[in-house]
A and B are shown apart, each in its own frame.
Chain A
Amino acid sequence: MALRFEILGRFNRARAAKLTLPHFVCETPLFMPVGTQGTIKGLTTSQLEEIGCHIILGNTYHLALRPTSELIHEMGGLHKFMNWPRALLTDSGGFQMVSLLHLADITEKGVTFQSPVDGKPMLLTPEESIQIQNRIGADIIMALDDVVKTTITGPRIEEAMYRTLRWIDRCIAAHKRPHEQNLFGIVQGGLDPVLRDICVRGLVDRNLPGYAIGGLAGGEDKDSFWRVVAQCTAALPEDKPRYVMGVGYPLDIVVCSALGADMYDCVYPTRTARFGTALIPEGVLKLKHQAMANDTRPIDPTCECTVCKKYSRAYIHCLATKEAMGSILISYHNLYYMMKLSRDLHSSIVDGRFPEFVCTFLQKMFPKGDVPQWVCNAMEAAGIDISSCCTPPDTNHANDVTRPDNNTSDCPKEESNEVL
């Protein structure tokens, strides 16, 4: 085990912790931006430090293809290769194969797929995934799991869950750098509480440094989503970090944190930036919208990032989706927003004002008091009283602001890597 996880504060199920990894001391709850190919699109590593990013994700599948894990190893590991002094996390690569490659096939041996280089069939085994991740050298590496779509039902879910459990032992056995890299197991089991329970217990028995809740954010309904998170966080050990994979909407992060999750990743903030959408407390701001052309306010008047300090919506409107600088500036703001959200979650839990933070957050996002039912349900389970923000206050609803679709966790396949 190459991490320390110290809980600094709690509010019911929510916790704020100090997560000490080989390369950085992180604070949770924590959003981790996705840097698929060894870079967060459009931002320098200095900017990422300035924004306050603690951990960056790399995608094993993409890195193994280019520049290859051997090359990264030869260059001294991914930290050195991309010159990122803070923490890194790599996924197993299996998810990308299943979601990006049509001809991927999962057998007991591993994931068989057609090589995108020469079209030949290739096999990614749990051992190989770990070997590649050992070469890349991230602080946290992920076990290869049998990934199935959340919307699938029937015996395939059960098969995938048991296979994930069998593969974890192969991953543990193959892991050559347990004192420098932390292997996280992934809880599978679809939306079935019985299967999830078996999987959690199986993984906890292995005493891993941390655990991820997988197979979510794939289009399931929000009530199922939070219930799975709530079930898993309740059953996972208190003293280990819990990572909900592929979750990235601010609202989802607040809800999951209330339920006791600690870490999140998603390409949403940076991808949506490239399409001209900025994250703001009220929801999202579509900077391409014609109304922005004459709006001299900053993206978010309450944001303290350099983009909001310097630029008007009107100017960003000129750049959005047209110029590289549009992506750069909106990505900067969006990641700043996500990291600020992480810091606010952390400090409000430590300072014992988590419910107030949640209520303020919800009030801004739902000024009419129309907090979605699933959020109310989840908060009730989390023991957070949000009744004050469910009564409509007498304010005008800003009509230039829209919210992302919060009815489903539609951070689908592409949300765990970012290539385009």
Chain B
Amino acid sequence: MNFSVKALSNGGGRAGLLQVGSCSFETPALLITTRKGLPTFISPDMLSSLPTPDCRLLQFSPLHLLESISMKTISEIGGLHQMLGLQEHVFAAVPRDGIISLPDYQSANKTGASFETPCGRLLIKPVQYMEMISSMKPNMWSTLADEVPAWVSEKRNKTSVDRTLRWLDDCIKSPFAKNTGGAVFGSIVGGSRIDERKRCALEVAKRDVSGFCIGGFGLGESMDERPALLNAITECLPEDKPRQICGLGLPEEVLQGVAAGIDLFDSSYIYHLTLGGFALTFGSEGIAKHGSEDRLTDSCGDGTKINLKATIYRKDASPILEGCKCYTCQKHTKAYLNHLFNTHEMLAHILLEIHNAHHYLGFFRMIREAINRGKFNEFRQKFVATRRDYIIGAASSA
């Protein structure tokens, strides 16, 4: 794996190039969150209908596979890429996925991290985690972290940093580590304490890691305290290594992260939207036609997302988003999607996840373009203001 920063924009924001094997990706980028290695609803053949190479960056949690298949079998099959039939794709392994594998700080102990998963609560020790990584062979993997929510005591937060640093060393020094073939992303925690965040980041930066995975966000901290925390972390990190984050999903949160110099995000936001029947529609023109942020402003008038379950779409023969190039918008109407949601058909989620993933990948492209033009700050402010105005407008007209 190779990473280099290509452009810095005012108001934060850096555009980079991430090269993994023969694939290269422009950052900031979205990692499509998967369930057992594949997107929740988008089958592999439909996945390739999304923009390439953007759709080839996937995030997965090794814990998803723990209960149903042995590590030996995964090794026999030849690792993750072979098992999932996605040889061209790039996998970034993170134990926590924000959907079905959630950190459970109360059950973590000095030996390992705890997660709530569909198979119940799992206590994962560094050595066991490394065995999984060495069998699965993801392209990138983050070290095991003891993630705690914002409200824990100072003492518990400090313990979390200590453990995360110790487990980082345990992971790197594990005999399995030689066998992974992937780039190590050192996990950074520290909750809502700036000093602890800094301590952790500085310590992790000293280790032999290829990148950083910032954990402990989206766990009860407020939007307002986040920029200071994020900046405190990224200031301690070297410029030339990629920074991934877990737990920031909303467009505004992504923009916050980008402003602080984060490069890689996950797509759990899309999963939640899709389940609820929500289709992203913000900045439609800009995303569909590679336009400028002025067009984004113009078209934001119709809000940021629509609920396809709403009765007004019953007879709507138009696509989710006029001009959207995704499979769903090319092939289907809102009326059909409305019907599929009303009748609880699986195709509803498949088609909507395609559109939302396509749309969000487009949002990331717009972010990159704004950074490359040196206008990230303007882009961000316009985006946030338009969205806020719309929400206020909608609230006052309701």
Contact = CB atoms under 8 A, between A and B. Distances in A.
B373 interface: no
B68 A317 contact: yes
B76 interface: yes
Interface in B335-358: 335-336, 338-340, 342-343, 345-347, 349-351
Contacts of B339: 37-38, 66-67, 81
B68 A83 contact: no
A325 B69 contact: no
B77 A314 contact: yes
B83 interface: yes
Interface in A306-328: 306, 309-312, 314-315, 317-319, 322-325, 327-328
Contact of A83 (B35, B39, B77, B331): B331
Given A294-B73, A312-B77, A317-B69, A325 B315 contact: no
Nearest to B85: A310
B343 to A, nearest CB: 4
A43 interface: yes
B128 interface: no
Majority-rule SS of A interface residues: helix
B89 to A, nearest CB: 12
B314 interface: yes
Interface string A78-110: 000111000000000000000000000000000
B335 A75 contact: yes
A82 B342 contact: no
Contact of B83 (A38, A81, A312, A324): A312
A412 B178 CA distance: 57
Interface string A28-62: 00000000011101111111001000000000001
A66 B43 contact: no
A46 B331 contact: yes
A47 to B, nearest CB: 7
B69 A315 contact: yes
Given A38-B339, A39-B340, A296-B76, A318 B350 contact: no
A52 to B, nearest CB: 15
Contacts of B68: 293, 317-318, 322
B383 interface: no
Nearest to A295: B73
A133 to B, nearest CB: 18
Contacts of A323: 35-36, 40
B40 A325 contact: yes
B336 A71 contact: no
Nearest to B87: A310
A314 B335 contact: no
Contacts of A329: 43
B317 A75 contact: yes
B345 A37 contact: yes
A74 B36 contact: no
Interface residues of B, number: 42
B45 A41 contact: no
A304 B38 CA distance: 21
A337 interface: no
A306 B36 contact: no
A336 interface: no
A314 to B, nearest CB: 5
B65 interface: yes
Contacts of A44: 46, 327, 331, 347, 350-351
A37 to B, nearest CB: 4
Contacts of B335: 67, 71, 75, 81
Contacts of B76: 296
A296 B77 CA distance: 6
A288 to B, nearest CB: 10
A90 to B, nearest CB: 16
Given A39-B340, A74-B315, A81-B335, A327 B346 contact: yes
B70 interface: yes
A294 B76 CA distance: 9
B49 to A, nearest CB: 9
Contacts of A309: 85
Contacts of A67: 314, 335, 338-339, 342
A332 interface: yes
A270 to B, nearest CB: 11
Contacts of A294: 69-70, 72-73
B184 to A, nearest CB: 26
Contacts of B350: 42, 44, 324, 328
B235 to A, nearest CB: 41
Contacts of A62: 343
Nearest to B354: A44
Interface string B20-49: 000000000000000110111101111000
B332 interface: yes
Interface in B300-340: 314-315, 317, 327, 331-333, 335-336, 338-340
B336 A38 contact: yes
A314 B315 contact: no
B152 interface: no
A116 B159 CA distance: 58
A42 B346 contact: yes
B385 interface: no
Interface of A: 37-39, 41-47, 50, 62, 66-67, 71, 74-75, 81-83, 293-294, 296, 306, 309-312, 314-315, 317-319, 322-325, 327-329, 332, 419
The 10 closest A-B pairs by CB, nearest first: A310-B85, A318-B68, A39-B347, A37-B343, A42-B346, A67-B339, A294-B73, A39-B345, A314-B73, A325-B38
25 contacts: A37-B339, A37-B340, A37-B345, A39-B347, A42-B346, A44-B46, A45-B331, A46-B331, A50-B45, A75-B315, A81-B333, A81-B335, A81-B339, A293-B68, A293-B73, A296-B73, A306-B45, A309-B85, A310-B84, A312-B77, A317-B68, A323-B36, A324-B346, A325-B40, A328-B43
